[in-house]
Amino acid sequence: MPARRLIFLGPPGSGKGTQATRLAERNGWVQLSSGDALRRERKEGSEIGRKAAQYMDAGTLVPDDVITGVMLAAVDKLPSGSGFILDGFPRTVPQAQSLDGGLKQRKLRIDAVVDFRLADEEIVRRIVERRVCQSCQATYNLSFLPPRVPGKCDKCGGGLIQRPDDHREVVVTRLETYKAQTAPLVEYYSQRGLLSAVDSSTGADAVEAQVSRIVDAAGRG
């Protein structure tokens, strides 16, 4: 499939990260996750990482100027003509407006925006049961995607942990924050004719089929 530039919207735990990984691997595109980028900065102890950690641990959004700069820098590092999926960014309308301006300067544009929708109760359950490999960042779920050996990564054997921002109290705060600040993006991208919604309560393969149809249609538009 020709290169596409996509945005995946949706609350934490809605499956957008899993689908971004699948689509990127199948088409040779790049998944640009704001969460992964910020966690890398935090682990390295950079100034921006320390600043972001305060917000991440509290379950609130990282300030617009911090995350927008990080994500545009990530786009700049890609080879010319690369397809990419922005996963977890933008999260606010000001971020979206800054992204629009930054991409325009680079003579790029977003082809489609996919909105992943899932009930709050299911989101909380999925995130609280999520475990991540400390070494390779592979993700598991204690209910529907458990590791073969409890506490060990299938891919590299690294130890599995629960992220600080995956505890129940933080998850509830993250959902409230999402609804207040991120949900307006649905209207923002709807007005631009870019938004399509998918039902994330179905199985991963069914969700992938929905996403593929949206991306194919965007390419024909």
Here the tokens at position 165 are: 């921002």
For 11-58, how does the pLDDT look when each residue is reduced to its tens digit (9 = 90+)?
A: 888 989 889 999 999 999 999 988 777 887 788 887 777 888 888 788
Rounded Cα distance between 108 and 100, Å, is: 9
Do residues 90 and 37 touch, judged by C-beta distance below 8 A?
A: no
Count of CB atoms situated within 10 Å of the CB of 199? 11
Q: Exposure pattern of 84-110 as b/e (b: 16+ CB <10 Å)?
A: bbbbbbbbbbebbebbeebeeeeebeb
Nearest to 32 by CA among 115, 89, 102, 110: 89
**Catalytic residues, which ones?**
16, 91, 130, 163, 174
Higher pLDDT pick, 56 / 221: 56
Mean pLDDT of the chain: 90
* 46 contacts 152 by C-beta, under 8 angstroms: no
Per-residue pLDDT at 207:
93
| Percent of the chain surpassing pLDDT 90 | 59
Per-residue pLDDT at 2? 81
pLDDT tens sequence across 73-115: 888 889 999 999 999 899 889 999 999 999 999 999 999 999 9
Better-predicted residue by pLDDT, 35 or 170: 170
Stretch among 137-146, 185-194, 206-215 having the lowest mean pLDDT: 137-146
> What pLDDT shows up at residue 102?
92
Mean pLDDT of 161-188: 90
Quote the CA–CA distance of 121 and 6 in Å, as a whole number.
Answer: 27
Measured distance CA(6)–CA(218) in Å, rounded: 10
Q: Which residues contact 129 (CB under 8 A, 6 or more apart)?
A: 141, 142, 143
Strands laid side by side in the 160-161 sheet = 139-141, 130-133, 160-161
Please indicate, yes or no, whether the overall pTM of this predicted structure exceeds 0.85: no
Instruction: Tell me the pLDDT band of 219, cut-offs 50, 70 and 90.
Output: low
- Domains contained in the chain, CATH given: 5-118+181-220 (3.40.50.300)
pLDDT at 221 over 60: no
The residue that leads in pLDDT, 174 or 219, is 174
Collapsed DSSP state (helix, strand, coil) of residue 91? coil
pLDDT of res. 220: 64
Q: Which residues lie closer than 8 Å to 69 by C-beta, 6 or more apart?
A: none
Q: How do residues 50-80 score in pLDDT, each as one tens digit?
A: 888 888 788 777 888 888 878 888 888 899 9
Q: Which helix (H) or strand (E) holds 141?
A: strand 139-141
What is the pLDDT at residue 167?
Answer: 93
Q: Quick one: pLDDT at residue 93? A: 93
